[in-house]
Structure 1
Amino acid sequence: MTRVIDRIMFVCTANECRSPFVEAYARRAGEGAPVRFESSGTEATGRAVPEQGLALAAEHRLSVAQHRSRQVDVAILADQDLILPMSRIHARELLLLAPAVAPRLFTLKQFARWIAQHPRPPRSHLGSWLDAAAADRPRTNFVGDDRLDDVADPVGRPMHYWRRMAEDVVPAIDAILDGLYQSGR
């Protein structure tokens, strides 16, 4: 029997700070789970993670030194089982690029809350399950800005903003991984 590998993509603006950190953390925290993580940006530059991001990753014993910013690709979005942007603004941009991904699109923090209320059935394919289970979510979930849903961008700010970003995303990733893979799905 072939083991299905879930594909989860994290998206931020430049793909230089939030989404690379989340990708690196998720890879380590989800080691052994049947999942592949990627990240990209809505306005990617091809640049590396800034020094503060490298320092933050090192504090968490992660490496993002080899990461280079990647642009969101509509074809790659269509292949993802779950797309987790860092803010509602990113979600709206992604909906405009690829409206069909709507059931598989949540902000990172939205999905951390949603998965706690919607247990994944055993042996279900993540993308197909979300296509059915999340298809009727109101599109108003993506309208406006909401601190409950948005992860603040730390670029250009002092280190304590970077640490605050990590404090915001680490529990969300832990909750998502627990909700998706806690029983070896």
Structure 2
Amino acid sequence: MHEEIQMAVETLQKGGLIVYPTDTVWGIGCDATNSEAVKKVYALKNREDSKALICLVSDIRMLQKHIFEIPEVAYDIIDLSTKPTTIIYDKPHGIAPNLIAEDNTLAIRVASDEFCQKLIRQFKRPIVSTSANISGEPTPKSFLEIAPEILKGVDYVVNLHRDKRCEKPSSIIKLSTNGEVKIIRK
């Protein structure tokens, strides 16, 4: 695992894209603070840049560095969730501007997977996490279902957990600083 993390971190530091096993599905990742890298993800997925992407952090401390005000209920959701849960927060900062939605929000998940946590900790910055597919195509449930153009379009493919099968992406909850809570995806 150490060698794979090292290769992925080196790729991310150079502004490159990776395909990697997340705590949900196989994902395309890049440095979430690098606008040029984020542009490459949108281009590879053939996705409009008005459709926001999810970002992964390693822990609560990293989350606190990038969100102006975290609603108290977010801590309970993170602690009590029995499955990976992405939360959409208001007023992110220190993130690539083209990753932030038009309404000044950002979807962030504290990674629960050991590989993702170690990767992000070693990289020391949040990383993008979007399903490894062309926009509009089905989300691959396993490594073998990832389209060849995705694998050819990235700079590094992590060679771990290739037998991992994923049935569902994360739940998504929007928490506004005004107290509003909205379930986006169960």
TM band (smaller chain): under 0.3
Larger proportion of strand: 2
Larger proportion of helix: 1
Higher relative contact order (CA 8 A, sep 6+): 2
Q: TM-score, normalised by structure 1?
A: 0.27
